[in-house]
Amino acid sequence: MVVGAAQERQRTGLKVLITGAAGQLGTDLVRLLSDQPHHQAVALSRADLDVGDRDAVLAATTTLQPDLIVHAAAWTAVDACESDPDRAWRVNALGCRYVAEGARLTGAHLVAVSTDYVFDGSSSRPYTEWDRTGPASVYGRSKLGGETEVFGLVPEATVVRTSWVCGPHGSNMVKTILRLAAGGGPLRFVDDQHGCPTFTVDLAAMLLHLGASRRPGLFHVTNQGATTWFGFARDVIRAAGLDPAMVEPIATADLDPPRPAPRPVNSVLDNAALRLGGIPLLAHYREPLEQTVKVLTS
């Protein structure tokens, strides 16, 4: 019965409101929806809708009456969050409160995006959705606050934690690595932070799938395969047809200057809720990486 209703909604089409629509994930969400014309995307960038403005969020949601809200807006400048925590709390935690209020008022299903940085990184194994959180940075704390807001107001919402997000739009590590490589190298990347690179094209498809089927709960969604930033930089260089030996490993302690926000040493996310729920996992990250590098270097 539930599956039938979900299939019907996917077939007849959804009005999907996307916050943060000009960001790297938001842009690919909008592109994905434009390839599925039975759905209607309402793309709201920060210029269109400041999610920290309650009146504006409630006005937008009640006027637009979406079926689904994908909340991709966030203040993602992890280091800058350390020196302006109020902005981080306003956008990442209160923003979630207001968007959740809008979803509750209109009956739209809410998919909110969160982060691997809700964990302190001390675990020796990948984190499941049921592991204890313990964010070490302002960004991580503010995003965890957002999760609490979402589930407090809309218990049937979907919250998706992802990690190391990359794609063809906006700024990300793939672009940084390619830019540095163009300068000739050597490139130095840390080899003691472990995570799962995740590409917007695959993440967007899973968000839409979970949202269209109104699948409630917390999900870890990453591309498969864990690496370090050093390992990832080598993969990027290799995908660009360059010599991976130009990348050298360093320790986080050797970063000069040190970065203001602490990063988890291990933020590998076990996609346990997908895996055990019988939902196909995203591809290994090297697949979308190849495609993305091709797009960025052609």
Ligand X SMILES: NC(=O)c1ccc[n+]([C@@H]2O[C@H](COP(=O)([O-])OP(=O)(O)OC[C@H]3O[C@@H](n4cnc5c(N)ncnc54)[C@H](OP(=O)(O)O)[C@@H]3O)[C@@H](O)[C@H]2O)c1
Please state the closest distance from residue 220 (CB atom) to ligand X, in A: 11
> Any contact of residue 165 with ligand X (CB under 6 A)?
yes
Residue 253: count other Cβ atoms within 10 Å of its Cβ: 9
Alpha helices in the chain (DSSP H): 2-12, 24-34, 54-64, 78-83, 85-88, 95-106, 138-153, 173-182, 200-212, 229-239, 272-276, 286-297
Among 73, 94, 138, 201, binds ligand X (CB under 6 A): 73
> Any contact of residue 162 with ligand X (CB under 6 A)?
yes
Closer residue to ligand X, CB minimum distance, 8 or 86: 86
> Any contact of residue 192 with ligand X (CB under 6 A)?
no
Pairing of strands 68-71, 15-19: parallel
Please state the closest distance from residue 107 (CB atom) to ligand X, in A: 22
Catalytic residue among 98, 117, 127, 139: 139
Q: What is the largest CA-CA distance in the chain?
A: 58
Stretch that binds ligand X, among 42-50, 97-105, 148-156, 251-259 (CB under 6 A): 42-50
Of 211, 202, 236, whose CA–CA distance to 6 is shortest? 211
Please state the closest distance from residue 113 (CB atom) to ligand X, in A: 4
Closer residue to ligand X, CB minimum distance, 115 or 213: 115
Please state the closest distance from residue 195 (CB atom) to ligand X, in A: 9
- Confirm whether 127 is a catalytic residue: no
Is the Cα dihedral 92, 288, 223, 195 positive or negative? negative
> Any contact of residue 213 with ligand X (CB under 6 A)?
no
Do 110 and 67 meet the contact criterion of CB atoms below 8 Å apart?
Answer: no
Closer residue to ligand X, CB minimum distance, 94 or 242: 94
Closer residue to ligand X, CB minimum distance, 112 or 153: 112
Percent helix, strand, coil in the chain, to 5, is: 45, 15, 35
Pairing of strands 227-228, 187-190: unpaired
Closer residue to ligand X, CB minimum distance, 21 or 242: 21
Binding track over 81-100 against ligand X, x by CB under 6 A: ----------x---x-----
Burial 41-50 (b: 16+ CB within 10 A, else e): bbbbbbeebb
What part of residues 137-156 is at the interface with ligand X (CB under 6 A)? 143
Stretch that binds ligand X, among 72-80, 147-155, 204-212, 274-282 (CB under 6 A): 72-80
Which residues pair with residue 194 across a beta bridge?
A: 228, 266
Please state the closest distance from residue 12 (CB atom) to ligand X, in A: 28
Stretch that binds ligand X, among 4-12, 45-53, 97-105, 120-128 (CB under 6 A): 45-53
Helix (H) or strand (E) holding 109: strand 109-115
Q: How far is Cα 101 from Cα 98, in angstroms, rounded to an integer?
A: 5
Q: How far is Cα 269 from Cα 272, in angstroms, rounded to an integer?
A: 8
Please state the closest distance from residue 8 (CB atom) to ligand X, in A: 29
Residue nearest to ligand X (CB): 23
What part of residues 112-131 is at the interface with ligand X (CB under 6 A)? 113, 115-116
Q: Which residues bind ligand X (CB under 6 A)?
A: 19-20, 22-26, 46, 49-52, 72-76, 91, 95, 113, 115-116, 143, 162-165, 170
